[in-house]
């Protein structure tokens, strides 16, 4: 089976592409390398931008694919509120250009990298797939908009999709080859690890939430478990030929302080923590109901306990400290 992975040089995309190859799939990566790294790619790499139709058409002039996994997107909620045009253009128009390519080449399956940000601050916990969709950022809105576009491309053209709504991806590939390397880095685990490695002082955004220790609570999923879910989704589309959506999380919430304490334990470094004001739009608690993913997708996280997530992330960052 031949799979096109857009954004396959980035964090989750590169782990997924590698896991696909390990399981015998033929993989082609398409990436503009603005947020990804060519050294992350061990399959064929086509450098191009989904905003440029010519990049897609010329890059895949003689190529045929059985399915697409679509990661390529801008993904910083805070930045999206400062650059709404860029986020809507990239995440929606880029996706539509991809769908038009799929329509022309008769590619019938797409797995979409969506997000729990489409739910906003949840009214009911844990969050199910049927929860109210109320994004609180342009980023979340752009992902929800593309989910709706996928619905219409299914209805009109029969292109079947699975939306995978991630909670918080974390950790590094279990063989220590791939990890999280964003610039700028906004996620708590890599930022705290970089603080432990002496790269900067760690800022904790708010310690006065109505939670057990005053810090926000989040659901973390190991990147390798997340990557495996994309393969399960490809297999499910092939078997059922039916569009669907799944929340990908563990159903367990960890507070920011619990995460920081685990990083101190694994690293053996008692780095300093500076308390900063809350970030706008950060819900106090959000974690997934992953029952549907377990029962219908066969999703069974193996690496997503907090200790394993932090251990793999720590080992990768320590090894790659000089890379930023």
User: What confidence tens digit (pLDDT) does each residue in 247-289 have?
Assistant: 999 999 999 999 999 999 999 999 999 999 998 778 899 999 9
Residue 322 clears pLDDT 70, i.e. is over it: no
pLDDT at 186: 87
Residue 74's CB is within 10 A of a number of other CB atoms, namely 19
pLDDT score recorded for residue 241: 98
Q: For 35-54, how does the pLDDT look when each residue is reduced to its tens digit (9 = 90+)?
A: 999 999 999 999 999 999 99
Q: Which one, of 192, 199, 182, 171, lies nearest residue 311 by Cα?
A: 171
**Among all residues, which ones are annotated catalytic?**
139
Model pTM score: 0.96
Q: How much is the pLDDT for 189?
A: 97
Percent of the chain with pLDDT over 70: 99
In the chain the beta strands, taken as DSSP E runs, fall at 2-6, 26-31, 44-47, 67-70, 109-115, 160-166, 168-170, 202-205, 217-218, 220-222, 244-248, 254-255, 273-276, 285-286
DSSP-derived pairing of the beta strands 67-70 and 2-6: parallel
Give the percent of the chain with pLDDT over 90.
Answer: 93
pLDDT of residue 184: 82
- Give the lowest-confidence range in 39-43, 179-183, 218-222, 228-232: 179-183
Side-chain half-sphere exposure of 42, counting CA atoms within 13 A? 12
pLDDT of res. 324: 42
Rounded to 5 degrees, φ, ψ at 54 are -65, -35
Across 106-135, average pLDDT:
97
pLDDT band at residue 30 using 50, 70 and 90 as cut-offs: very high
Task: Give me the pLDDT at residue 117, please.
Answer: 95
Q: What stretch of H or E contains 80?
A: helix 77-82
Burial class from Cβ neighbours inside 10 Å (0-12, 13-18, 19+) for residue 258 reads middle
Q: Does 141 have pLDDT greater than 70?
A: yes
- Give the model confidence (pLDDT) of 72-113 as tens digits: 999 999 899 999 999 999 999 999 999 999 999 999 999 999
Q: What is the mean pLDDT of residues 55-76?
A: 95
Average pLDDT, the chain: 96
Interstrand relation of 168-170 and 220-222 (parallel, antiparallel or unpaired): parallel
89-98, 179-188, 232-241: which has the minimum mean pLDDT? Answer: 179-188
> What confidence score (pLDDT) does residue 323 get?
46
Strand, helix or coil at 172? coil
Q: Which domains does the chain have, with CATH numbers?
A: 2-170+220-248 (3.40.50.720), 188-218+251-323 (3.90.25.10)
């Amino acid at each position: 089976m031949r799979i096109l992975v857009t954004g396959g040089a980035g964090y989750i995309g590169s782990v997924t592409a590698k896991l696909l190859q390990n399981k015998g799939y033929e993989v082609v990566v398409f990436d503009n390398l603005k947020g990804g790294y060519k050294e992350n790619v061990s399959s064929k790499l086509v450098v191009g931008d989904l905003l440029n139709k010519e990049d897609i058409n010329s890059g895949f002039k003689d190529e045929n694919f059985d399915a697409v996994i679509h990661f390529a997107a801008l993904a910083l909620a805070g930045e999206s509120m400062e650059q709404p045009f860029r986020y809507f253009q990239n995440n929606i128009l880029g996706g539509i250009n991809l769908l038009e390519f799929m329509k022309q080449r008769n590619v019938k399956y797409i797995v979409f990298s969506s997000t729990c940000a489409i739910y906003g601050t949840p009214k009911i916990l844990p969050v199910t797939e049927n929860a109210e969709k109320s994004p609180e950022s342009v980023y979340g809105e752009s992902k929800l908009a593309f989910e709706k576009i996928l619905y219409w491309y299914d209805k009109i053209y029969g292109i079947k999709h699975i939306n995978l709504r991630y909670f918080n991806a974390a950790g590094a590939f279990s063989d220590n080859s791939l990890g999280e390397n964003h610039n700028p880095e906004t996620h708590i685990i890599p930022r705290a690890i970089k603080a432990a490695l002496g790269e900067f002082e760690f800022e904790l955004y708010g310690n006065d939430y109505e939670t057990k220790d005053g810090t926000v609570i989040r659901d973390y999923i190991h990147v390798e478990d997340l990557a495996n879910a994309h393969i399960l989704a490809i297999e499910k589309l092939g078997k059922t030929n039916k569009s669907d959506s799944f929340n990908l999380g563990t159903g367990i919430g960890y507070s920011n302080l619990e995460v920081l304490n685990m990083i101190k334990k694994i690293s053996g470094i008692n780095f300093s923590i500076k308390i900063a004001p809350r970030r706008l739009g950060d819900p106090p608690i959000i974690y997934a109901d992953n029952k549907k993913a377990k029962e219908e997708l066969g999703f069974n996280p193996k690496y997503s306990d907090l200790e394993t997530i932090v251990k793999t992330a720590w080992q990768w960052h320590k090894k790659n400290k000089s890379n930023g």
